[in-house]
Chain A
Amino acid sequence: MKNITAGVHMNERIPVNPGEVEWAGDNPGIYLRDSVDGPWTGLGIFFHVVYSNYGRGQTMIVLGAPNESLGYPQANNICMTNNRPLTDYLIRDFISKFPSFKGQSGLDAMTRMDVESHVSEGDMMESWSETMTSQGVEMRMQWQQLGQPFAVEVTPETCATGEHDMYSVFLEAKQGGISVNGKDLTGKVTDRLFFGKQMSTAFLAISETWVKPAE
Chain B
Amino acid sequence: MPLKNPLHPGTVVWTGENPGILLKDDPDGPFTSIALFFRIFYSPVGRGTVLLLLQKPNEAVTLPTAANVVITDNKALGEYLLETFIGKLPAFATLPGCQSAQIEMMTEGYPEGDPRSCYKEIVRTANLDVELVWDGLGKPVALELPAELTGGKENELYSLLVESTRPQIIVNGEQLPGKPVERVQAGIKTTTAFLYFSETWIHPA
- Chain A residues engaging chain B, CB cutoff 8 angstroms: 1-2, 4-8, 10-17, 19, 21, 24-26, 50-51, 53, 55-56, 123-125, 148-155, 157-158, 165, 167, 169, 171, 194-197, 206-209, 211
A to B contact number (C-beta, < 8 Å) = 142
Task: Name A152's closest neighbour in chain B (CB-CB).
Answer: B6
Could you tell me the distance in whole angstroms from the C-beta of A143 to the nearest C-beta in chain B?
A: 13
CB pair A169 B142 closer than 8 Å: no
- Given A15-B145, A15-B187, A21-B160, A153 contacting B2 (CB threshold 8 A): yes
Given A8-B2, A123-B47, A150-B8 contact (CB < 8 Å): yes
Report yes or no: B42 in contact with A149, Cβ–Cβ below 8 A: yes
Closest to B186 in A: A15
Q: Which residues of A contact B141 (CB under 8 A)?
A: 16-17, 21
A206 touches B4 (CB 8 A): no
Q: List 18 A-B contacts (CB under 8 A).
A: A1-B1, A1-B2, A8-B2, A11-B146, A15-B186, A21-B142, A25-B197, A123-B47, A125-B46, A148-B11, A150-B12, A153-B144, A153-B158, A157-B1, A167-B142, A195-B6, A206-B41, A209-B160
B102 to chain A, nearest CB (A): 26
Q: Contacting A14 at CB < 8 Å: which of B2, B139, B204? A: B2
* Chain B residues, CB < 8 A from A15: 143-146, 149, 186-187
Chain A residues contacting B42 (CB-CB under 8 Å) are: 124-125, 149, 169, 171, 206
User: B201's closest neighbor in chain A, by CB?
Assistant: A151
Interchain CB contact under 8 A, B198 and A207: yes
Interface bits B1-41 vs A (CB < 8 Å: 1, else 0): 11111111011100111000000000000000000000001
* Inter-subunit contact A6/B47 (CB<8 Å): no
User: Which A residues are CB-close (under 8 A) to B82?
Assistant: none
Least CB separation from A170: chain B residue:
B7
B140 within 8 A of A: yes
Interface residue count on the B side (C-beta < 8 Å) = 44
Q: A4-B1, A150-B12, A153-B6 are in contact. Are A19 and B142 (CB under 8 A)?
A: yes
Q: Which residues of B are found within 8 Å of A149, using beta-carbon distances?
A: 12, 15, 42
- The contact of B4 among A7, A24, A56, by CB within 8 Å, is A7
Nearest to A21 among chain B residues (CB) is: B140
9 tightest A-B CB contacts, nearest first = A151-B8, A13-B2, A17-B142, A21-B140, A15-B186, A207-B198, A149-B12, A207-B15, A24-B198
The answer to whether the Cβ of B70 comes within 8 Å of any Cβ in the partner chain is: no
Contact call A10/B16, Cβ cutoff below 8 A: no
Taking A2-B1, A196-B5 as given, write out 16 further A-B residue pairs in contact, using a Cβ cutoff of 8 Å, ordered by the A residue number.
A13-B3, A14-B144, A16-B141, A21-B139, A51-B116, A56-B114, A125-B46, A148-B12, A151-B7, A151-B200, A153-B2, A153-B6, A158-B1, A171-B42, A207-B41, A208-B198
- A27 → chain B closest CB, angstroms: 11
Q: Using known A-B contacts A151-B200, A206-B42, A211-B142, determine if residue A24 contacts B186 with beta carbons closer than 8 Å.
A: no
Q: Which A residues touch B7, using CB under 8 A?
A: 150-152, 194-197
| CA gap between A109 and B158 in the complex, in Å | 37
* In the bound complex, CA of A19 to CA of B142 (Å): 8
A4-B2, A123-B47, A207-B15 in contact; A25/B8 too (CB < 8 A)? no
CB-nearest residue of chain B relative to A194? B7
State which residues 118-167 of B face A: CB under 8 Å: 139-146, 148-149, 156, 158, 160, 162
Alpha-carbon separation in the docked complex, A206 to B41 (Å)? 8
| B73 interface hit (Cβ, 8 Å) | no
A50–B115 CB distance below 8 A: yes
A184 to B139, CA, bound (A): 42
Q: Which of B73-95 contact A (CB under 8 A)?
A: none
